[in-house]
Chains A and B, each alone.
Chain A
Amino acid sequence: MAVVEVRGLTKHFGDVVAVDGVDLQSEEGEFLVLLGPSGCGKTTLLRMIAGLEQPTEGEILLGGESVSGLPPRARKIAMVFQSYALYPHMTVANNIAFPLKAQGMDPSKRAAKVQWAAGLFDIDGLLHRRPRQLSGGERQRVALARALVREPTVFLLDEPLSNLDAKLRAAARDDLMEFQRRIGITTIYVTHDQVEAMGMGDRIAVMDHGKVRQLGTPEEVYHHPADVFVAQFLGSPPMNLLESMYYLFGFRPEQFLPEGIAESEGARVPFTFHVNRIEYLGSERYLYGHIREYEETKIIAMLPATVTLPIEVDQDHKFSVARDQLRFFDRDGGQRIPPQALNR
Chain B
Amino acid sequence: MTWQDTDVQALQRSAERRRRLGRISVYTAAIAFAFLAAFPFTWALVSMFKQSNDLYVKDNSPFWFNEVPTLKHLGFLFTDTNYLTFIRNSVIVGLAVTAITLALALPVAYALARLRLRWGERLGIAIFLVYLIPPTLLFIPMTRVITNLGLQESLWSLILVYPTITIPISAWLLMGFFKGIPMDLEEQAMVDGHSRIGAIARVVLPLMVPGIIAVVVFAFTLSAHEFIYALAFNKSSAVKTIATGVPTELVRGDVFFWQSLQGAVILIAVPIALIFNAFLDRFISGFTMGAVKG
Contact = CB atoms under 8 A, between A and B. Distances in A.
> A–B direct touch, CB within 8 Å, in complex?
yes
Interface of A: 50-52, 71-73, 77-79, 81-83, 85, 87-89, 98-99, 102-103, 146, 150
B182 interface: yes
A83 B190 CA distance: 16
A50 B191 contact: yes
The 7 tightest CB contacts between A and B, nearest first, are: A102-B193, A85-B188, A85-B184, A99-B192, A79-B191, A72-B191, A73-B193
A52 B194 contact: no
A188 to B, nearest CB: 13
Contact of A81 (B188, B198, B207): B188
Interface size class of B (residues with CB under 8 A): 10 to 19
Interface string B181-220: 0101101111111111010000100110000000000000
Nearest to B192: A99
A99 B182 CA distance: 19
Contact of B187 (A52, A102, A103, A150): A52
A82 B198 CA distance: 22
Nearest to B181: A88
Contact of A73 (B182, B185, B190): B190
Given A52-B187, A85-B187, A98 B207 contact: no
B192 A146 contact: yes
Given A83-B182, A83-B184, A102-B198, A89 B191 contact: no
B185 A87 contact: yes
A99 B190 CA distance: 9
B192 A102 contact: yes
Interface in B234-263: none
Dominant secondary structure at the B interface: helix
A93 to B, nearest CB: 15
Interface string B113-155: 0000000000000000000000000000000000000000000
A73 B207 contact: no
Q: Which of B189, B192, B194, B207 has the most CB of A within 10 A?
A: B192
B283 to A, nearest CB: 22
A102 B187 CA distance: 14
Contacts of A83: 182, 184
B202 to A, nearest CB: 8
30 contacts: A50-B191, A51-B190, A51-B191, A52-B187, A52-B191, A73-B190, A73-B192, A73-B193, A73-B194, A73-B195, A77-B191, A78-B191, A79-B187, A81-B184, A81-B188, A82-B184, A83-B182, A83-B184, A85-B182, A85-B185, A85-B188, A87-B185, A87-B203, A88-B207, A89-B207, A98-B193, A99-B193, A102-B194, A103-B193, A150-B192
The winner among A51, A73, A78, A88 for most chain B CB atoms within 10 A is A73
Contacts of A82: 184
Contacts of A77: 191
Contacts of A79: 187-188, 191
Given A81-B187, A102-B194, 4 more contacts: A52-B187, A82-B184, A85-B184, A89-B207
A207 B232 CA distance: 67
Interface string B61-92: 00000000000000000000000000000000
A79 B185 CA distance: 12
A82 B187 CA distance: 12
B234 to A, nearest CB: 42
A73 B195 CA distance: 7
Contacts of B189: 87, 98
A329 to B, nearest CB: 40
A98 B206 contact: no
Contact of B192 (A52, A88, A89, A98): A98
A50 B185 CA distance: 15
Contacts of A99: 192-193
B193 A52 contact: no
Interface in B158-190: 182, 184-185, 187-190
A89 B209 CA distance: 11
A50 B189 CA distance: 12
Contacts of A50: 191
Contacts of B191: 50-52, 72-73, 77-79
A98 B201 CA distance: 13
Contacts of B194: 73, 102
Contact of A71 (B182, B195, B207): B195
A77 B190 CA distance: 11
A274 B187 CA distance: 55
Nearest to B209: A89
B184 to A, nearest CB: 4
